[in-house]
Structure 1
Amino acid sequence: MRNNATPITFERISIPVAAGGTIAGTLRMPDGDPHAAVVVHPATAVAERLYTGFSEYLAENGFAVVTYDFRGTGASGSPKANRRLRMRDWMDQDVPATAAWMRGRFPDLPHLAVGHSLGAHAMALNNGLEELRGFVGVASHAGVTKAIEDPRERFRVGLILSFLGPLTGRLLGAVPGRKLGLGEDMPGGAMLEWSGWSKKPNYFFDDPSMDAVRRTAQVKTDALVIGFTDDLWATPGQIDAIFSHLVNASVERRTYSPDDAGLAAIGHMGFFRRGAREKLWPEVLTWLNDKAGASP
């Protein structure tokens, strides 16, 4: 299918997951042959459409790019039908499945990834890294409610994660994320796991079943980790709470302010909106191109 607004093509794709269900996504391609492949792994309760402009930009610059919805969100199945899916299932199953699909589709290209929040958690936990030359983590942090510095935001998030989210998740099997101002509707199982981690001082590192310290220490893939000064959730300390554990990987940290991007605000979502195209996206494009040209 042809996208008339930009010199790229796109097609809808369906990716099977071994544990059950399918992932709905979009593959965008440049006019000519791509020189590298990128998967954009989404954040919790964030619809694939947020990543449209950014993925088009990468495709315009020669990348094959996949965006998608986690199972039980957006176009990848209803939350109720996937009520038992947990956050770890997205990280341990959806992210590797999508990365494997991309490798199968483009076996001869260099492979890279961009992860937003949870999407980068998955890679920090050593998921989806096979044959990957590097990944970018955007606004990816330990979601500890008590660590939110702004008192109003801390109260709002605490109300959702400690009360409203778990209550609706248990009663309905799904969480009405749109009505709660949280994002997309999501499976109850994912909310319950998120709620539990949000109360722990070290997030999922305090969950023995995640084995997170060992898994993060296994990561050897280069990473670029980006944060924003006006992000109320992904503060520098909460980003470090995840990525300081990548003790065997080369991790580059960058922090941008809205002024750096010529914007009034960036926050937790703004990097992927089109206003960041002129100032911030080229920085990531350069890093991805450098890694694509590097030796595996």
Structure 2
Amino acid sequence: METITIRADDGFELAGRRFTPAGKARGVVVLSNAMGVKQDFYIPFAQFLAEQGYAALTFDYRGSGASTPARFKRSLRGFEADLFIWAGRDYNAALRAAKTWQPDVPLLVVGHSLGGQLPGLLPDRQLIDGLVTVASGSGYWKRNAPQVRRFVWFMWYFAVPLYSRLFGYFPGKKVKKVGDLPRGVATQWAQWCKSPHYVVDRKGNPIRAGYDEIRAPILALSFTDDEMMSRWSIDSMHDKYRNAPVDRRYISPQDVQARRVGHFGFFRPEFRETLWQQALEWMEQRAQARAIPVTSGMLRAGGRV
């Protein structure tokens, strides 16, 4: 494991880690985080991928985890970021950093929750050869899983606007929900979650074009006991990728000899021989199909390691 700095196209420095296989990489995998989840959470899975011959890269969005500047460690008041910046600058910079690091192998993405929602907003989405989404669905509150529907209504209509206005950021640690978020991220996320279209522009209009342009195959892994996402949520999100072949797998804990998987369980090492193997086998098929060198000319000017 190697700690690196990823420079976004506006100069912001993101904290990342690279996991290098023993021999030549069979592919390179970008692990993109769920909302409020630090890259540390994905280390066991990244290490597993490296053991299987895949280079892996993790990162933190600006204003979260190790990508929080020192002067904002105690409070994110005044820190500027929103979901378009997280996608268009930070996530995209990680994508480009992975391709620069391993230019001659297929580029795959494993997107957890939010990480599987944002690819349609990435300027360099054409670099993706395959996408694995994990527990990734629309956050539209009326169609969330029943056990959280009442809570998220309060979250989006009262907690986020009130606390963000009072503190200048969303103090998730104080209220024990999600984690601290930049004000722009929290308020935009609330806007999305109040819309049946979910991913919308600042005026509330659905964003479709970027999702229509993604044609790389997608493996959608979702779980019947997900405490946040209903099946409608999962299907609605993946319907946005209407020009991509999507392999939708709705998995129950019993299918993998487990008592629980839920929204976060996939990344627990106990699923190394079951869920991780499913994802690995699919990625190997994609790597074999797309093992074609990509020239540096495909990369636009901008973010770099």
TM-score (norm 2): 0.87
Which one of 144, 147, 154 corresponds to residue 143 of structure 2?
147
- Pairing 1:15–2:6 present: yes
**SS of residue in 2 equivalent to 1:203:** coil
Post-superposition CA distance 1:252-276 (Å, at most 9, x none): 1111111122222111111111222
Post-superposition CA distance 1:47-97 (Å, at most 9, x none): 111111111111110111011111100110146166321112111211111
Aligned to 1:196: 191
Per the alignment, do residues 232 and 124 of structure 1 end up closer, same or farther by CA in structure 2, a change over 3 Å counting?
farther
Per the alignment, do residues 227 and 279 of structure 1 end up closer, same or farther by CA in structure 2, a change over 3 Å counting?
same
Aligned to 2:50: 59
Q: Is the 8 A contact 2:87 2:122 kept in 1?
A: no
Q: How does 1:110-259 map to 2 (within 5 A)?
A: 110-150=106-146, 152-205=147-200, 212-259=207-254
Distance of 1:205 and 1:220 partners within structure 2: 21
Aligned to 1:106: 102
Alignment gaps of 5+ in structure 2: 293-305
What one-letter code is carried by the residue in structure 2 that aligns with 1:120?
A: G
Q: Is the 8 A contact 1:197 1:207 kept in 2?
A: no
Q: Is the 8 A contact 2:197 2:206 kept in 1?
A: no
Aligned to 1:76: 67
Structure having the higher strand fraction is 1
Distance of 2:236 and 2:256 partners within structure 1: 26
The two structures, once aligned, show a CA RMSD in angstroms of 1.9
Distance of 1:223 and 1:153 partners within structure 2: 27
Task: Compare relative contact order (CA 8 Å, sep 6+) and give the higher one, 1 or 2.
Answer: 2
Distance of 1:178 and 1:267 partners within structure 2: 22
Alignment gaps of 5+ in structure 1: 1-9
Q: Is the 8 A contact 2:145 2:229 kept in 1?
A: no
What one-letter code is carried by the residue in structure 2 that aligns with 1:184?
A: G
**SS of residue in 2 equivalent to 1:112:** strand
Per the alignment, do residues 246 and 185 of structure 1 end up closer, same or farther by CA in structure 2, a change over 3 Å counting?
same
Deviation at 1:135, TM superposition (A): 0.8
Name which of structure 1's ranges 29-38 and 170-179 shifts more when overlaid on structure 2.
Answer: 170-179
Q: How does 1:29-48 map to 2 (within 5 A)?
A: 29-48=20-39
Distance of 1:19 and 1:210 partners within structure 2: 26
Aligned to 2:301: none
Aligned to 1:3: none
Corresponding pairs, count: 286
What one-letter code is carried by the residue in structure 2 that aligns with 1:29?
A: T
Distance of 2:178 and 2:20 partners within structure 1: 28
Per the alignment, do residues 149 and 284 of structure 1 end up closer, same or farther by CA in structure 2, a change over 3 Å counting?
closer
Post-superposition CA distance 1:214-262 (Å, at most 9, x none): 2211111111111100113222211121211222111111111111222
Distance of 2:79 and 2:149 partners within structure 1: 26
- Pairing 1:269–2:260 present: no
Distance of 2:43 and 2:175 partners within structure 1: 24
